[in-house]
């Protein structure tokens, strides 16, 4: 876990975005109508976004209401996280009340609250380094190795649920439940629990998964966003998706579409022309919160791109 409190939490993996950086440090960013070059350290970052929060009884009931919507045979995957996310802040507060503020125990508990979920994401990213390298080489072995496929499903699930835009979607759903409690407080728990459930669900779809690499043919590029993956089969919000056909770019010249419930499993490569690239870029921009990334200023100044938030 380390001894330093992590305050700047990246909601998109910095190593992933490095593919759009020429020197490994700077990246072109579009926010609204503004296009600037900025350091990778300064994009897709939120202050203490993954820090744990103390839950009261209403918060816990709200979390349980979300968990109850999961298939009963998968409840065990979520309930374990509920216990951890509830007890760690409670123990930290208990330590403070018992006049142990400033003690080593208090310091370690506060550090755990600050870093626990951020460290989970860092571990997922570390274990996905080789996977992302393979995807960038259009490797065809992903569906040949069940363990590698499960790691891929974990990477997809975590990235799909870790951004501020995903939080806003859950917040809208929480408002419809008419249950007291703060979605801001329980979102870290739900994000982590649903990542595990989604990984389990997608990981069981190896036999029906089709992966298509999308190679850019023309002198255009695929853009990345601060919500870097989109479900091409998603219905209009806020209806929950019944199917996952995930698209995400892995470099400016190569993208991936993964259909987890295809009639034809396997791996293929398809070339993309400028019109298809433009449509995929529009999907990324429409799904984003406020930040779009490219490898050049010109790629972000194309006139027909939406302006984003």
DSSP 236: S
For residue 239, pLDDT beyond 70: no
The C-alpha atoms of residue 241 and residue 160 are separated, in whole angstroms, by: 13
Tell me how many domains the chain contains: 1
Contacts of 188 (CB under 8 A, 6+ apart): 50, 51, 52, 53, 85, 117
Residue 258's pLDDT is what? 98
In contact, 136 and 251? CB cutoff 8 Å: yes
For residue 60, pLDDT beyond 80: yes
Q: What are phi and psi of 50, to 5 degrees?
A: -100, 10
A 10 A CB-CB count for 18 gives 13
Residue 293's pLDDT is what? 97
pLDDT in tens, 181-202: 899 999 999 999 999 999 999 9
Residue 276's pLDDT is what? 96
Instruction: Give domain status of residue 95, yes or no.
Output: yes
Instruction: Give domain status of residue 221, yes or no.
Output: yes
Instruction: Give domain status of residue 306, yes or no.
Output: no
Instruction: Give domain status of residue 281, yes or no.
Output: yes
Instruction: Give domain status of residue 307, yes or no.
Output: no
Residue 305's pLDDT is what? 56
Give the residue numbers spanning the domain of 33: 8-300
Please give the mean pLDDT across all residues of the chain: 90
Residue 118's pLDDT is what? 94
Instruction: Give domain status of residue 309, yes or no.
Output: no
Mean pLDDT over 205-227 rounds to 96
């Amino acid at each position: 876990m380390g001894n330093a409190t992590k305050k700047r939490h990246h909601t998109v993996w910095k190593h992933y975005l490095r593919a759009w950086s020429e020197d490994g440090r700077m990246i072109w960013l579009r926010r609204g109508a503004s296009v600037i070059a900025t350091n990778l350290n300064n994009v897709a970052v939120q202050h203490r976004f993954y820090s744990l929060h103390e839950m009261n009884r209403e918060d816990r009931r709200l979390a349980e209401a979300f968990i109850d919507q999961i298939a009963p045979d998968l409840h065990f995957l979520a309930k374990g996280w509920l216990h951890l996310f509830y007890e760690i802040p409670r123990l930290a507060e208990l330590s403070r009340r018992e006049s142990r503020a400033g003690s080593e125990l208090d310091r370690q508990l506060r550090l755990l609250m600050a870093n626990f979920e951020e460290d989970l994401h860092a571990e997922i990213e570390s274990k996905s380094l080789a996977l992302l390298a393979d995807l960038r080489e259009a490797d065809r072995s992903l569906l040949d190795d069940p363990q590698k496929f499960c790691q891929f499903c974990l990477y997809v699930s975590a990235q799909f649920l870790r951004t501020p835009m995903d939080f806003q979607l859950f917040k809208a759903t929480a408002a419809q439940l008419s249950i007291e409690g703060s979605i801001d407080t329980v979102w870290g728990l739900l994000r982590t629990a649903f990542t595990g459930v989604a990984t389990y669900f997608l990981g069981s779809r190896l036999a029906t998964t089709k992966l298509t690499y999308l190679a850019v043919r023309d002198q255009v590029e695929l853009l990345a966003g601060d919500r870097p993956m989109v479900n091409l089969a998603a219905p209009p919000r806020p209806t929950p998706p019944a199917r996952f056909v995930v698209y995400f770019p892995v470099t400016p010249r190569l993208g991936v579409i993964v259909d987890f419930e295809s009639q034809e499993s396997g791996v293929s490569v398809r070339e993309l022309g400028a019109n298809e690239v433009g449509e995929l870029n529009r999907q990324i921009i429409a799904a984003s919160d406020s930040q779009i990334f490219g490898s050049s200023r010109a790629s972000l100044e194309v006139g027909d791109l939406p302006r984003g938030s």
